[in-house]
Amino acid sequence: MSIARFWRETPRRYNLGGSRCTTCGTVYFPPRLVCPTCTHHRQSIGKMVPFQLSGDGEVFSFTIVHDPAEGFEMQVPYVVALVRTVEGPILTGQVVDIGPEEARIGLKVRATFRKLREEGKAGVIHYGYKFAPVDELPERPPAGRLAEAPAETARGEDRAPA
């Protein structure tokens, strides 16, 4: 990845900045301009707002890498996982601070920011998110969905006649 592209993606890489559709409440990472979940995608135009993901989630699936990509030879074996965040989006990332034998589906993790790579010995250092295990995640409702109004309120049946 070029240095210019890396810096353009800094808000996502450093802050887990996504977007949320104010029409249906779905959260996306990386951010989107239009919501593919809404029945008529045009409903979401101009209604996508920035959204900060907490970084909390659990391992949905994982693999153990034994044949690494260039630049990761010193880390093998390592775990790469699909992590379902509490807000809903599934992120891909390396799981750190555990041995491969400790990886499991359902493992509670939290995003942590670590060095990803360096461009040469005196080059730019790239940082980004990885996931580290946690004993338990804080109790909080998923922030990715808007609270739904009761069906009666949504249809206006509980309102007094005008």
Q: pLDDT > 70: what percent of the chain?
A: 74
Is residue 18 over pLDDT 60? yes
* E strand or H helix that includes residue 111: strand 108-118
Note the pLDDT tens digit of each residue in 86-113: 999 999 999 999 999 999 999 999 999 8
Return mean pLDDT, the chain. 78
Task: Return the minimum-mean-pLDDT range out of 14-18, 20-24, 76-80, 131-135.
Answer: 14-18
CATH architecture of 54-135: Beta Barrel (2.40)
Residue 44's identity, in one-letter code, is S
Is residue 121 over pLDDT 60? yes
Is residue 26 over pLDDT 70? yes
Composition of the chain by helix, strand, coil, percent to 5: 15, 35, 50
Per the listing, tokens 């980004």 go with 128
What are 86's two structure tokens? 């509490």
Q: How far is CA 138 from the centre of its chain?
A: 17
The three-state secondary structure class of 92 is strand
Per the listing, tokens 């790579």 go with 117
CA distance 13 to 7: 9
CA distance 61 to 53: 20
pLDDT at 73 (0 to 100): 82
CA distance 34 to 95: 31
Find, among 136, 29, 10, 11, the residue nearest to 90 by Cα: 29
pLDDT at 67 (0 to 100): 94
pLDDT at 3 (0 to 100): 55
CA distance 110 to 132: 6
Note the pLDDT tens digit of each residue in 128-151: 889 999 987 666 544 444 333 333
Is residue 7 over pLDDT 80? no
Locate the domains of the chain by residue range. Answer: 54-135
What are 56's two structure tokens? 């909390």
Residue 52's identity, in one-letter code, is Q
